[in-house]
Structure 1
Amino acid sequence: MVAFQQAVQGRIVDKTETGDALARARQRAALIPDCMVEAKRIANTVIAGWHGRRKRGMGENFWQFRPYAEGESLAGIDWRRSARDDHLYIRDREWEAAHTIWLWADLSPSMLYKSRFGSVSKESRALVLMLALAEVLARSGERIGCPGVMEPIAARNAAERLATALIHAPETTGLPDAGFPRTDMIRNASDIVLIGDFLDEAETIMAGIAPLARRGLRGHVVEIADPAEQDFPYAGRTEFIDPESGEKLVSGRAESIRDDYRRAYFLRRDALSDNLRRLGWSFTPHLTDRLASEALVKLHMHLSGAPQLGKGGGA
């Protein structure tokens, strides 16, 4: 029953050895340069310049004209706009200030999975999304950090520096057995983007996220899934292996549990999505057979405070 529950949670991997921690670190180091190239390509397809906070303040970009109020500085009057009618107008600029955004991707063994239905592994897609988002944010002047890997920096080459830091990062940078990064170094109210497969029960995941929300962190969760984990295309005698515990489940007729599996899978996702939204956090499901730019655009809009997008099943 325990093994079945783990399979229902979606921990499905091909029967292959994952190797020791050193081998995984070397594999990640070899993967990151290609991910960086892909991340830059994807970032170039997304509108850069998301820097304003949609409020009045110090900045260079025009935001709005508004009627002049008695007592305000005459230096703020836009005389060209005021000349159009009998009223004086103030030219407001959009507030622009560097904001700290923490980016984290789950690099645990379950993220290595790739079926024949996915374009890339979950780990590869998570790295590309994190680095592409870092590239977009760096162009906008934001401060980028990665918990346990890199302190926040505001630099045009922040994505490259993050990639280098990831190559040299220790295999484990999160909390033991929690599946979340250490956040004790995050002192101020910031945004945090968590990218992973989040295959545990919704209650377990929320137990790790709720303390972050109580600290004032504004969060964004991206669930990376292989199409096989969502659709369960298996039939006949199939062996499922949990890559983190090593437990196995052998099904003589895998198709017989497909409906129960999919029902449990989507109930878990819906529960996670609903709980996150109640905290004011965003939730973006993403399949590895879709374009990475789709998830990047959604993240970009959530971070910029754009109206909530319609729900999508991983599109």
Structure 2
Amino acid sequence: MGGHGRRRAGTGEEFWQYRPAQAGDSARFIDWRRSARSDGQFIRDREWQLAQSLNLWVDGAASMRFTGAKTRPEKAARARLLALALAVAAIRAGERVGLTGPLAPARPGRRQLMTLAAVLSDDATAQDYGAPEVIGIAAQARVAFLSDFLGDPAAVQAAVAQLADRGIGGVMMQVLDPMEEDFPFDGRTIFESMGGALRHETRQARDLRTRYRDRLAERRHLLTELARQAGWQFATHRTDTSPQGALLWLTASLERGR
């Protein structure tokens, strides 16, 4: 994180190239040690560096409000925590951070953290599942999607493809409650979506376990392949585990994808 080279001369700390001095160049920019090895005078150019932009999408749909136990946070709360922690790390490194969409464009500075926290706390919809927004993302930016990715994958596929076509890299982190992975249900069970739009009753929930786990594995495979083809990274985080490991993975993956 921090300033990133743009492979051209400009303001920065890293050496870029020597070039012959021209009329109008100030004498204080002449590299006298390099010039002493030839008959001409040379200017030591530095590489132009610019802060990176990081854009976050935190799914605020109804499905993210699920938790399987009072001792565990909702998926939305964990996703917001990870997003804000990632934003703190990026802003401390001099990055610009914002949300995808028009509500909080990427900006530097600690004041931006308050803006992000305020917008994320109100980012809740009645829809069962969310879809990422991809407007307002600058070229050469990085993107982090945090969601359960349990809805129609077509919207996620379209968003990632659109960003990848523009050369924008990123990461996807699937945040799940342990019950959504383990499917510990048995006997008569009523399944209802958080928004109330979907409802299913069964008398033998155990009979659905294998099919459910197979469907979840298929979804993960789809997301993993989507990320691989776009040059992104994908991982899953459970809300019963420490958020520190997830934050380290997010930071390292975004760094690798610069």
Please say if 1:152 is aligned against 2:103.
Answer: no
Indicate the residue corresponding to 1:304 in structure 2.
Answer: 255
Letter of the structure 1 residue corresponding to residue 52 of structure 2: H
Partners of 1:279 and 1:76 in 2: how far apart? 47
Pick aligned residue for 1:137 from 90, 101, 105: 90
Indicate the residue corresponding to 1:182 in structure 2.
Answer: 133
Query: How far 1:177 sits from its partner (Å)?
Result: 9.1
Report Cα offsets for 1:133-183 as digits up to 9, x if no partner.
11000001111111232122111343223113334x5645xxx99833433
1:108-119 to structure 2, matched below 5 A, reads: 108-116=61-69, 119=72
Partners of 2:55 and 2:227 in 1: how far apart? 18
Query: How far 1:129 sits from its partner (Å)?
Result: 0.6
Pick aligned residue for 2:217 from 258, 261, 266: 266
Partners of 2:120 and 2:240 in 1: how far apart? 25
When normalised by structure 2's length, the TM-score is: 0.78
1:8-87 to structure 2, matched below 5 A, reads: 50-51=1-2, 53=4, 59-60=12-13, 75=31
Indicate the residue corresponding to 1:161 in structure 2.
Answer: 115
Contact 1:118/1:288 (<8 A) preserved: no
**1:151 alignment partner, SS class:** coil
Higher RCO (C-alpha 8 Å, min separation 6): 1
Contact 2:2/2:95 (<8 A) preserved: yes
Structure 2 residues without counterparts, runs of 5 or longer: 22-28, 35-44
Query: How far 1:75 sits from its partner (Å)?
Result: 3.8
Please say if 1:100 is aligned against 2:63.
Answer: no
**1:256 alignment partner, SS class:** helix
Work out the percentage of aligned pairs sharing the same amino acid. Answer: 31
Query: How far 1:243 sits from its partner (Å)?
Result: 2.2
Indicate the residue corresponding to 1:250 in structure 2.
Answer: 201
Partners of 1:238 and 1:141 in 2: how far apart? 50
The number of aligned residues is 239
Contact 1:102/1:192 (<8 A) preserved: yes
Pick aligned residue for 1:123 from 53, 76, 79: 76
Partners of 1:54 and 1:283 in 2: how far apart? 26
Query: How far 1:94 sits from its partner (Å)?
Result: 8.7
| Greater share of residues in strand | 2
Report Cα offsets for 1:17-74 as digits up to 9, x if no partner.
xxxxxxxxxxxxxxxxxxxxxxxxxxxxxxxxx32548988545x89xxxx9997998
Contact 2:171/2:234 (<8 A) preserved: yes
Comparing 92-101 and 282-291, the one that deviates more: 92-101
Q: Which has the larger radius of gyration?
A: 2
Contact 1:109/1:244 (<8 A) preserved: yes
Contact 1:117/1:227 (<8 A) preserved: no
Indicate the residue corresponding to 1:88 in structure 2.
Answer: none
**1:97 alignment partner, SS class:** strand
When normalised by structure 1's length, the TM-score is: 0.65
Letter of the structure 2 residue corresponding to residue 150 of structure 1: A
Query: How far 1:293 sits from its partner (Å)?
Result: 1.2
Partners of 2:210 and 2:157 in 1: how far apart? 26
Letter of the structure 2 residue corresponding to residue 103 of structure 1: L
Structure 1 residues without counterparts, runs of 5 or longer: 1-49, 79-91, 308-315
